[in-house]
Every structure is written in C-alpha cells, then in structure tokens.
Structure 1
Amino acid sequence: MAHMITWLLLLLVWVAAGWAAWPRTELLNICMNAKHHKEKPGPEDKLHEQCSPWRKKACCSVNTSLEAHKDISYLYRFNWDHCGKMEPSCKRHFIQDTCLYECSPNLGPWIQEVNQSWRKERILNVPLCKEDCETWWNDCRTSYTCKSNWHKGWNWSSGYNQCPADAVCHRFDFYFPTPADLCNEIWSHSYKVSNYSRGSGRCIQMWFDPASGNPNEEVARFYAAKAKSGAGFHEVWPLQLGLALMLLWLLS
C-alpha cells in the first residue's frame, strides 16, 4: 500500500508540473498580460489617429492610444529623439508599432510568458509582412540612433531613455544595415520579417484600412490552428489525469 501511495504522489506531481507548464489555450481575440493592456478586447470608438483601425475590437484604451502618439509619453517614458529629432515619416512607423502592440487582439499565437517587472507576457517572432518592414526601414534609414536593441541598455537616470555613455549616434542604416536587421532586432525579436506580402493571410500588417476589415484576424486564425495541431501536451495531460484518478479509485 505504501508503495502505491508513493507512486500516486509522484504521478500527481507529474500532472501538476504538466498543468503548470500548459501554455495559453486561447489564441484568438485575446490581450496580453502586460503593462497597459485591457483584460479583454472590446470596442473603443474614440481610439486616436493611427490606433483607430482597432476601434471595433481593441486591447488598448482611448487614453493609451492618445499617449502612443506623444513624445516621452507616460506609457514607457521612451524618447524617440534620443539622437536628435527623428524624421516624422520614421516616427509614424513607431507609433503604428506601438498601436499594434497595445491594441491588437490578434497576436495570441505569438504571446509568450516572461518574468519581467512591467509585464507578464510579450510577443515573440510575429511574422511581419515584408512590405511593412521594408517601408519602416526606408523611412527611418536617415534618422539617427545609438543602439540596435531598444529593449535594454539605456541610461534611464533622467527619467527617460538616453544613450549609454559609450554609445555613438549614427544613421539607422549603420545599426540596421537591412530591413530584417531593423524589424528582427530592435525589440528583441518581437517581430520576424516574413517572406509573405500584405493580403496573403500569412503575415501580420502593422497597419490597415479598417474599412476593408482587419486582415490580421485571418492570419491569427491560420497560425492558431497550426499551433494547436502541434500541441502534443494538450493531448497528453488528460491521460495523466486519468491515470491519477484511476489510482485514487483503486486506493479508495
């Protein structure tokens, strides 16, 4: 009997460990567990300017959308002009990038858990449409920066990001020689430039015309189905639980 109890306890630990490692089961129409995201997506009729495509179903509030358009906003205290004035055509892409990150409910297939003080989840390797990446790079190549990874390594002593002491300001195309370098590296691989084009149903568009619907919904459905078809643990844990319940019944 003691031997069976030991095996039962081990099995229950196995089930619990598997359950704890179980990733999100819902990949569609969800919001990240992050600093400014709503708990669930919903309508926000007054989203500001470049965040407006997500009005019908948004993970951001109106105030977040307003702040996304400001320099050194309260969202992250990030200074786009850390190496002099950023070109407006370049800044437009960073505002769109912020709106996508804060507002989109279609990033579920790429959400990952993280252990960070300011967020519990992030996006990783979102397949960004190649035209979006190329246009972003072309419009920013003559602006200036001092780093290739904007997620870390800044001097925050002033309350907003400044270049570290040993960093030198150069044009974007010095730190990002190709469009892929920009899109893949700048936010620690939040994006991964895709070989697919806008409208293909296989890549995420940073911005879209809401009058034609949200093309990222189809993309999220495709990758969510792909992720679930390969989710082996989702098929294994019911067997684990069943074995544990059987042993409980035998011991009763």
Structure 2
Amino acid sequence: MEPACKRHFIQDSCLYECSPNLGPWIQEVNQSWRKERFLHVPLCKEDCERWWEDCRTSSTCKTDWHKGWDWSSGVNKCPAETVCHTFEFSFPTPASLCEGLWSHSYKVSNYSRGSGRCIQMWFDPAQGNPNEEVARFYAQAMTSKAVAHGRGLFLPSLALALPLLLLV
C-alpha cells in the first residue's frame, strides 16, 4: 500500500475508534465480533475523492474489507484463489471505494467540506472540530423525524446516548 493511501486508512481508523460525532449513525448489529457499527455516515465528497486518488495505484484482493478474510494464520490474509488488483480496478469510482470498502459505513455526500452537512475525515483540530456541527444537525433531524412519525428515538445504549444527547 502506498504511504499516501495508508494515511487514509489510519485516519479512517481514528475516526471510527475515537470520534464522538458518529452517534447519529450508530446501528445495532448482531455479529460475533461487535454489537454496533456506523452506517451511511455522510462523508464529504472531497475526502472520498482524495482517498480514492491516493489509493488508485495500491493493490487489494477484496472490495468489502468487513468480512471474508482468511484469519487461519492469526492475521488477515486474502482468501484463497483471490487475485490482487489496483484499487482503481477494484473501485472504479471514489464512491465505490468509500461506500463499498466497509459495507456502507460511509455514504458519499454531495456536500463539501465546511458545509456543516458532511463528516470530514481530515481537519485541523486547532480550528475546532467541524464534525460537531454535522453530528448536531443530523441528530436534531433524526430526532425531529422520529417524533413526527410518532416514534421515540431509539438509543442502543447509554454510552451512545450520552454524546448524542449532549449534541441535541
């Protein structure tokens, strides 16, 4: 993997593991290795395009990295009989990479960085976290939609509910 490509995967891991602003997109799942995941996070189109551009010449044997790896040796390896191709071959568009790579964890937004309507993978923390405004916007929209449809807001756990409630 090219170093510029690897940076995006490191940043993606940091966002996934550490961001308090993904609460509106957390869904319960029944998988042996986790109970929750995020789904359809609106990723700013420029961040997706840059990720794809920086990874175009790197190689992969899979288009969905969530499942299907060979773990028999204790580390993830490509499944038998798979062939590695460039990311550009495996993911012909930026959206196919960003939306397909992690089973639709991300949804490429039509909004741009700084709009307050899409999650930015990259930002300068000294300038504040632009994803706070995005999470607040979507949390309020989801709450309003649930109330308008006569449903209470489903909150999978207190650990997830607290950041969401703080945003609203």
TM-score range for the pair, normalised by the shorter chain length: 0.7 to 0.9
Q: Quote the Cα distance in structure 1 between the aligned partners of 2:3 and 2:94.
A: 18
Which AA in structure 1 matches 2:64? N
Q: Report what 1:234 is aligned to.
A: 152
**CA distance in 2: counterparts of 1:153 and 1:105, whole angstroms:** 29
Unmatched runs of 5 consecutive residues or more in structure 2:
154-168
Structure 2: how far apart are the matches of 1:103 and 1:111? 13
Shift of 1:120: 1.2
Secondary structure, in 3 states, of the residue corresponding to 1:230?
helix
For 2:81 and 2:144, locate their aligned partners in 1 and report how far apart those are by CA, in whole Å: 47
**Could you tell me which residue of structure 1 aligns to residue 123 of structure 2?**
208
Superposition map of 1:117-156 within 5 A = 117-156=32-71
SS at match of 1:203: coil
Amino acid at match of 1:150: W
Q: Distance in 1 between matches of 2:110 and 2:151?
A: 30
Deviation at 1:124, TM superposition (A): 0.1
Gaps of 5+ in 1: 1-85, 236-252
Which residue, 135, 138, 143 being the options, matches 1:223? 138
1:103 aligns with 2:18: yes
- Greater fraction strand: 2
Describe the SS at the equivalent of 2:63. Answer: coil
CA root-mean-square deviation:
1.0
1:165, distance to aligned residue in structure 2 (A): 1.1
Give TM-score scaled by structure 1 length: 0.59
When Rg is computed on C-alpha atoms for both structures, the one with the higher figure is 1
**Residue number in structure 1 paired with 2:28:** 113
Higher mean C-alpha displacement, 184-193 vs 156-165 = 156-165
**Residue 79 of structure 2 aligns with which residue?**
164
> SS of 1:182's equivalent?
helix
| Structure 1 residue 144 displacement after superposition | 0.3
Tell me the percent identity: 80
Show CA shifts across 1:135-162 (max 9, x none): 0000000000011000111111111111
Amino acid at match of 1:233: R
Aligned length: 150
Question: How far does residue 166 in structure 1 lie from its aligned partner after superposition?
Answer: 1.9
Secondary structure of the corresponding residue to residue 113 of structure 1: strand
Cα drift, residue 195 of structure 1: 0.6
Runs of 4+ residues over 6 Å off in structure 1: none
Find the counterpart in structure 1 of residue 164 from structure 2: none
Higher RCO structure (Cα 8 Å, ≥6 apart): 2
Within a 5 Å distance, the mapping from 1:176-215 to structure 2 comes to 176-215=91-130
Which residue in the other structure is 2:160 paired with? none
